Copies of this chain bind each other. A is one copy, B any other.
Amino acid sequence: MKNCIVAQSGGPTAVINASVVGVVEENNRSSHYDNVYGGLNGIEGILNENIINLSKLQEEELNGLKYTPSSGLGSCRYKLKDYKIDDSEYKKLIEILKKHSIKTFFYIGGNDSMDTVDKLSEYAEIHSIDIQFIGIPKTIDNDLVGTDHTPGFGSAAKYVATTVLECYCDTNVYSFNGVFIMEIMGREAGWLAASAALGRIKGKSAADFIYLPEVPFSTEKFLEDVGNRLKVKNSVFVAVSEGIRDANGRFIAQMETGSHDKFGHVQLGGVCGNLKQLLIDNKITSKVKTLELGITQRAAMHNASKQDIDEAYRVGSDAVSYSTEGCSGVMVGITRESNKPYKMGTSLVKACEVANHIKSFPREWITPEGNNITMEGVEYITPLIMGAPDIETENGLPKYYIVNRDGIVK
């Protein structure tokens, strides 16, 4: 008996289940493993032996799961301790994996998960344990190194750009509309906020200004940008990353705007709220609307990119193929073979090179003024948002597949 297990970790994306289905279906084709198990709630659940058998899923169920957003197997934010300090969880995990005859552990996640893959593979090697640990990338933030881009980003970028276009139409209707501020996810890197630039009206970015964490945020420049634009336009559209920071590295989201709760604690207004307050306090305009996209941007399968789904599936299925060669402590990265026409492939990268690193949005793709994105940046992202999935519907809504988490393998 030779099995493998796949689990999901960290924040969800719209397409993270497509990677699970890629693993299962590739194994259905190759029969390399007797069973593909699914670990519930990532490594946290596996440590509690919450394991189900995904090889029992029917074709229809797999197809449903492929087009269902968010982590169908559940997720966790669990970081293993350094095994040199405390290896009790490593021992427990290996014991559970051995009990279930698991030869390969596929972990779908971001850079914290790649840290887990790295530590576990290192531990296994040192102790001559014949279990492989392979990472499969995902994050809407697109900030992983070792891969051209990450599955999950394309769909989130498409949702952001679509919403920019639709909000542009909505924020232009009155004779004076003031300022609209859209807050986009991305605490460390500005890739997703940059994708706002894909929303274009007559060839120009619908967003007047896009602010990313890669450029230190100056409140003076912001007030000047918006104030000047309001002199020539009756509406100003601002897209902003939640991760913008001032020159001292302090998050704008945590800037004190002077509000206190009933215990006297400073109230944090968030990026949108704080920028709104800045515009009002400095008398730029009192007409400011805000929108925090929130979790919709990572969950909107109904508007996902087909290219992204295909690539999420591909890194899952290729992970199974690569695993037959015996590799461990690696992540399946995406390579961009050409841009026009767009062509991608995959390759292996060491998990330790991915773990705990951040890939920033390139400064040369930000305009010299630091407040919008160049066409090179737009052209890099565009191929990743192409195509629409053919999602089954029921009563006018997408029919999503909820994994039965009860069938625990004993």
Contact = CB atoms under 8 A, between A and B. Distances in A.
B169 A398 contact: no
A400 B174 CA distance: 18
B158 A396 contact: yes
A259 B264 CA distance: 9
Contacts of A398: 162, 165-166
Given A170-B69, A397-B158, A296 B402 contact: no
Interface string A364-389: 00000000000000000010011100
A74 B175 contact: yes
Interface in A259-297: 259-262, 267, 289-292, 294-296
A103 interface: no
A171 interface: yes
B261 A259 contact: yes
B70 A400 contact: no
A156 interface: no
A174 B41 contact: yes
Interface residues of A, number: 65
B75 A174 contact: yes
Given A175-B41, A258-B262, A169 B12 contact: yes
A75 B12 contact: no
Interface string A64-86: 00001111101111000000000
A395 B381 CA distance: 10
A118 interface: no
A299 B395 CA distance: 21
A202 B406 CA distance: 15
Nearest to A77: B174
Contacts of A167: 295-296, 299
B387 A174 contact: no
Contact of A165 (B44, B202, B397): B397
Interface in A205-227: none
A165 to B, nearest CB: 6
Most buried by B among A41, A68, A172, A198: A172
Interface in A36-83: 41, 44-45, 68-72, 74-77
Given A173-B70, A199-B397, A166 B402 contact: no
Contacts of A262: 257-259
A298 interface: yes
Interface stretch (A300-308, A317-325, A346-354): A300-308
Interface in A225-274: 257-262, 267
A98 to B, nearest CB: 24
Given A385-B397, A395-B198, A395-B382, A170 B299 contact: yes
Given A296-B167, A303-B303, A173 B74 contact: yes
A201 interface: yes
A171 B396 CA distance: 22
A398 B257 CA distance: 38
Interface in A136-173: 158, 161-163, 165-167, 169-173
| Interface pairs A-B: 8 shortest CB-CB | A258-B262, A70-B169, A166-B299, A385-B396, A75-B173, A170-B299, A291-B294, A386-B396
6 contacts: A74-B172, A165-B398, A166-B299, A166-B398, A198-B397, A259-B262
Given A171-B295, A257-B262, 19 more contacts: A44-B175, A70-B170, A71-B173, A76-B174, A77-B174, A158-B396, A166-B296, A166-B400, A170-B295, A170-B298, A198-B397, A201-B400, A260-B260, A290-B294, A291-B294, A296-B296, A385-B396, A385-B397, A387-B396
